[in-house]
Amino acid sequence: MGSKNKLKRFKENETFDNVIQPTRDAVTNGFDLKGKWNTFFKNDNPIVLELGCGKGEYTVGLARMNPNKNYIGIDIKGARFWRGAKTALEEGLENVAFLRTQIELVDALFEENEVSEIWITFPDPQIKYKRTKHRMTNSVFLEKYRTILQSNGFVHLKTDSEFMHGYTLGLLHGQGHEVIYANHDVYKNEGSPDEVLMIQTFYENQYLEKGKPITYIQFRIAD
């Protein structure tokens, strides 16, 4: 993507009612929407996050399927989620928002028990050991998710990485978290939820063309 195109998208994001772009200081020094996301959406419907939302295909797709839930896509790359934000506005989807910030700040963005579900779709598996701290299902991230999730809330992990799938399952079992459902090839093995099968991202289609299996885990984080 050219720099001119990026700048154009950044400027357009600033005009979108469904895009929030706080500074890091605004997030870490008492974010004004923390605990008050119902005022942004103007309803008390469940809040669902997509972390590392990329182009926003999953955020928008889930919002179409579930109009009685509010969806927030979070990513630091605003030029990417511009497409999802624009599509949501064009389709009149009022249950969609996009938040440009670092994912590691998620517990500063939401109050305890404010979130009902979290989706992690095709994250960078960070395979090198020294990158473990950046894996989005490591122990530190799981604790952040536990803090903001409701007691019956759960996390979805959909990935093409067998490493990420195996790493996460091992960690969940080892720490006593509840694995509700796991599938190492969702398009060959029956049983995955419709939300897993009916929404495909740009990158997921590329993985499928290469014959890579798509994996999925749904889990709850123990107290």
- 32 catalytic? Reply is no
Q: 44, 124, 160, 194: which one is catalytic?
A: 124
- Give the DSSP per-residue string, the chain: --HHHHHHHHHHHTT-TTEE---HHHHHTT-TTTT-HHHHHTS---EEEEES-TTSHHHHHHHHH-TTSEEEEEES-HHHHHHHHHHHHHTT-TTEEEEES-GGGHHHHS-TT-EEEEEEES-----SGGGGGG-TTSHHHHHHHHHHEEEEEEEEEEES-HHHHHHHHHHHHHTT-EEEEEES-TTTSS---HHHHS---HHHHHHHHTTPPPEEEEEE---
Q: Which residues are designated catalytic?
A: 124
